[in-house]
Structure 1
């Protein structure tokens, strides 16, 4: 039989992408098969009944990964396994018999007693580790499976959980950390977040998505939830006819194929946010690409369909009505964080402090709870910049509170370097990492403060241990993507690829990647000192770092 002609080959049906409403539900890879057999909802009971009693070795591989992700558990990296083993050894060879546990804090909301409980769990079960993430969660390490029943009991008593902490599910819903209290708030999204969690996440409707689904709801004019890089985000706006509500964005995401979210052009009242959120999530469930994991995010579907088709399908097939056209949010070009002392709408104050790259030992969290309680604070919030915010502080308590927070390393007046530093977990615990990040970031801040003192403009520095951008490298002023690089002597060592001038807001972009420019970890502090010194010498009045990067000579950026 002769080979098919070019015309015949062109007419051949495209390969199925695993879209349920296009290709059917037949699993096209092992991940999809495992999720169809049991998407992780039942694995918690197996932990309680079997694994916590019989230990790590009793856990089947398909529960260990991926199903444990649905209950917030990842095996952590075996100690002493350098970056040269990443991508070479299997997951089973890299993993330890201990877990990272992700505690879900939707909207970044918890209480003083919640912080105390997390601190005590950290002290008793996690070797005093506690890392606040840029997803407003908190992560503990060194967790044993035998201790999970007690940990879950303690969390439940303070209204916290690990449900859908990881996995191909709707992850924690980001929210403004000052929702309901900020004097400049457009609209409070707290109730919408609560309803999404209670009405849609308690059951199994969204327990099997193509991949993770990231959401945000914020009514703050500060645009404080990185809405541009979420799968779906609701941003506070004032409609000229309908008043305060939310502008809807879809299709954002970073990792190895970064894309900025796009506006639907639709205004949604607060009461309808959960329904619209569920409609977007259902589109992702039904039409998301499942065959290839690296294309199984909503951003690829939005990119293929275009925003007009996406809105039409949402309205016609999932909501059964047209959405109201609405305005875009106003630009906010100042710091989006909440560091310092700020007046609340009720006349009291909220106080934002910055731990070193989000790390606070559990014993210090207990001290934080004591400090908060002594100053009449019952509510504490986390942020996408890894800050902690204490609400409802009376005027006569502010100075004392600031002094006591500073005594445990939580400053309300951090340097520009400490304020803007971000780092992922890195080689310390992550099986995907190639380089050390968190400890290096802490050391880097200390060195920069010593050498350069402080800056009078914000600057963000993000260290990521691999290409997956958990520290948001592409949208940082100085983004550093971990790699194994060759030094001047020909040795293979830890280092970073450099991205410069990334930004959100007006002129949002993914930064300038200098062709072939990489620095070793040993050169990192000298390089950033040189770069910032050049910026200080050449900047014009009021010029931001990213603006200087766009016009600077390449030699001054290396």
Structure 2
């Protein structure tokens, strides 16, 4: 994985010194909170309901075991013994004291990490496929390109104060695991007819108040020009993006207003001048960056292993875990292992100090000291030998990390919601816990099959509810917390935005609402048909009719029964 060079070290050292003085001035009341706000946001520090929250960048989701151990240390020393992994492949700590934040940044710098540009109106953390470099369906390893973009985006002076935050995702596999269609810029690595490497460029995707899927504005962009072309996109956005209304300031609104064809024309016109300028990536520079992403010391292994096959045949629990949590690898005899952070009774995406230390040990023992964060809020050991899967499973199970639910209903995405976030309209975590408790029976869960359930506590959609097969959005009704439900959303190659089924529900009704949606699916599905396929085939009407047919708990809303 990438290691800092002298420029990275110098940049981070200077930024920490600058920030330490800013904190000193704030604590001495030399800076007002209003003056301090943009300064702390540049360093990933938010004020939430109860305390400061620090968001740490994990570029394209890749971590070393040493970096994860540092997260564990921060959780134990400065927080309440846990961290929360996010849909941006980052980690958040929710109980941070302001005066301790410069120390935390020093600790992060010691393992080549920082919190820069994890908030504010700037280019955020570059995200990618969690299996980049090891995916069985990979076309091209995106990690060198993601690192080039990381370096380009860091402290870019021209784009430090954009109209709104800006998110870039990159994918290089047949399956889109980076959700590129709902990013401001989504890049897919492709080959042209001449066999040359380049990018398909998608612009204007996003969720929030106005969920929109991105539009393709260029089918093939030579890889050498990815920085200059993205600069052209950012310049159009920086000049014409709205700054008078933050709810209409994202690039998706500009692309929609101009139309994708006109936006693309303006980008091409803007790009004409810098196209072959100094930001053009040379072969030498690409090879330099790519050299950090060499393959680990794989050994030659057979694709099958007799001991593994015996465990698979004899142990149903192990077999279930392999079926859900173990993914194909491009190297024979190796597998990708997803460690579930969705154990029933635990807030989705949370990991304790002890768990993080233990996972770091697993990475050292089984996966060359590296791991990845998924945007579904789980962790991945990417290079596990087939023969070691059983011992890994036994160890992970003992630490609550082997729930066999990846891709199933209880592998749900959930933002911190109203328990922590000052922007939230409603709590997310209690809803997630109630639903996972309702569907804790594993045989039933496996019978339901693959289903994405995403929960957001507000319209900002940090829980990606718009692209959940079932999406849950917390809304405020006269000071009370209610939940709006949509179905039919999906991420990936065939991305779609879900449709709202009707009036919102009280918190206590949500498990039964999900149960009723599942009952319609089980009643109407064809053999081997997934939930999303059934919804797309039937539309939302049969689901809506069954959910609202009879009242649940006779919940009273404004003096009338709320039927669900």
For normalisation by structure 2, the TM-score amounts to 0.79
Aligned to 1:478: 470
CA distance in 2: counterparts of 1:293 and 1:54, whole angstroms: 27
**CA shift for structure 1 position 210:** 0.6
SS of the residue corresponding to residue 234 of structure 1 reads strand
**Secondary structure of 2:264 counterpart:** helix
- Asked whether the 8 Å contact 1:352–1:412 carries over to 2, the reply is no
Once residues 275 and 402 of structure 1 are traced to their aligned partners in structure 2, the CA distance between those partners, rounded to angstroms, is: 46
- For the residues of structure 1 that align with 2:27 and 2:392, how far apart are their CA atoms? 44
- Which consecutive residues of structure 2, in runs of 5 or more, have no partner in the other structure? 1-12, 277-322, 343-347, 549-564
Q: How does 1:404-443 map to 2 (within 5 A)?
A: 404-411=395-402, 413-414=404-405, 417=408, 420-443=411-434
* Residue 248 of structure 1: how far off its partner (Å): 0.7
Which residue in the other structure is 1:467 paired with? 459
Superposed CA deviations along residues 133-180 of structure 1, whole A, max 9, x for unmatched, are 111111111111111122111111211110101000001111122222
1:70-469 alignment to 2 at 5 Å?
70-78=42-50, 98-320=51-273, 339-345=325-331, 347-356=333-342, 357-411=348-402, 413-414=404-405, 417=408, 420-450=411-441, 452-469=444-461
- Could you tell me how far 1:510 is from its partner in structure 2? 1.9
Distance, in Å, in 2 between the alignment partners of 1:221 and 1:430 is 36
C-alpha distance in 2, partners of 1:141/1:436?
Answer: 15
Per the alignment, residue 316 of structure 2 pairs with: none
Q: Which runs of 5+ in 1 are unaligned?
A: 1-40, 79-97, 324-336, 487-491
In the aligned structure 1, how far is the partner of 2:109 from the partner of 2:16? Answer: 14
Q: 1:556 aligns with which of 546, 554, 557?
A: 546
Q: Is the 8 A contact 2:23 2:98 kept in 1?
A: yes
Is the CA contact 1:276–1:319 (under 8 Å) kept in the aligned structure 2?
no
Q: Which residue of 2 aligns with 1:31?
A: none
2:514 corresponds in structure 1 to 528
Quote the offset at 1:542 in angstroms.
3.4
Distance change >3 Å, CA 435–CA 322, structure 1 → 2:
same
8 Å CA contact 2:472, 2:486 repeated in 1? yes
* Whole-angstrom CA distance in 1 between matches of 2:462 and 2:201: 23
- CA gap of 1:293–1:416, structure 2 versus 1, over 3 A, is closer
Summarize the Cα distance change of 1:320–1:503 in structure 2 as closer, same or farther, 3 Å threshold: same
Deviations 1:340-371 (A, max 9, x none): 24223365332122212211112311121122
Residue 495 of structure 1 is aligned with which of 459, 482, 485? 482
Asked if 1:51 is matched to 2:37, the reply is no
Give the CA deviation at 1:376: 4.8
3-state SS of paired residue (1:171): coil
Quick check: 449-458 or 492-501, which moved more? 449-458
Deviation string, structure 1 residues 423-457 (Cα, Å, up to 9, x no partner):
11111110011221124313321221239443343
The answer (yes or no) to whether the contact 2:326–2:335 under 8 Å persists in 1 is no
**443-452 or 423-432, which deviates more:** 443-452
For the 8 Å contact 2:472–2:484, the answer to whether it is kept is: yes
Q: Select 2:505's aligned residue among 500, 505, 519.
A: 519
Q: Deviations over 1:155-214 (max 9, x none)?
A: 112111101010000011111222222232111221122112223423422211110001
Q: 1:199 to 1:433 in 2, by over 3 A?
A: closer
SS of the residue 1:310 aligns to: helix
CA distance in 2: counterparts of 1:180 and 1:212, whole angstroms: 28
Decide whether aligned partners of structure 1 residues 509 and 199 sit closer, same or farther in structure 2, where only a CA change above 3 A counts: closer
Deviations 1:62-118 (A, max 9, x none): 24433321110101113xxxxxxxxxxxxxxxxxxx211111011111111111111
> Structure 2 CA distance, aligned partners of 1:338 and 1:454?
9
**Conserved in 2, the CA contact under 8 Å of 1:43 and 1:67?**
no
Correspondence for 2:6: none
Deviation at 1:277, TM superposition (A): 2.4
1:102·1:139 contact (CA, 8 Å) conserved in 2? yes
Q: Distance in 1 between matches of 2:396 and 2:24?
A: 37
Q: Secondary structure at the match of 1:360?
A: strand
Residue deviations 1:255-300 (CA, integer Å, cap 9, x gap) = 0111110011321233332332222222222221111111111011
Contact 2:325 2:339 (C-alpha < 8 Å) held by counterparts? yes
- Contact 1:339 1:413 (8 Å CA) reproduced: yes
C-alpha deviation, 1:485, in angstroms? 4.7
Matches within 5 A, 1:12-31: none
Q: Following TM superposition, by how much is the alpha carbon of 1:129 offset from its aligned partner in structure 2, in angstroms?
A: 2.5
How many Å apart are 1:458 and its aligned residue? 1.1
Offset of residue 477 of structure 1:
1.4
Q: Specify whether residues 208 and 340 from structure 1 end up closer, same or farther in structure 2 by C-alpha distance, changes over 3 A only.
A: same
Instruction: For 2:462 and 2:485, locate their aligned partners in 1 and report how far apart those are by CA, in whole Å.
Output: 16
Indicate the SS of the match to 1:400: helix
2:432 and 2:131 map into 1 onto residues whose CA distance is 27
Q: Could you tell me how far apart the structure 1 residues matched to 2:492 and 2:57 are?
A: 27
Task: Give TM-score scaled by structure 1 length.
Answer: 0.80
* Distance in 2, Cα, partners of 1:346 & 1:319: 45
Q: Deviations over 1:537-557 (max 9, x none)?
A: 121223332343352423124
Q: Contact 2:367/2:384 (CA < 8 Å) preserved in 1?
A: yes
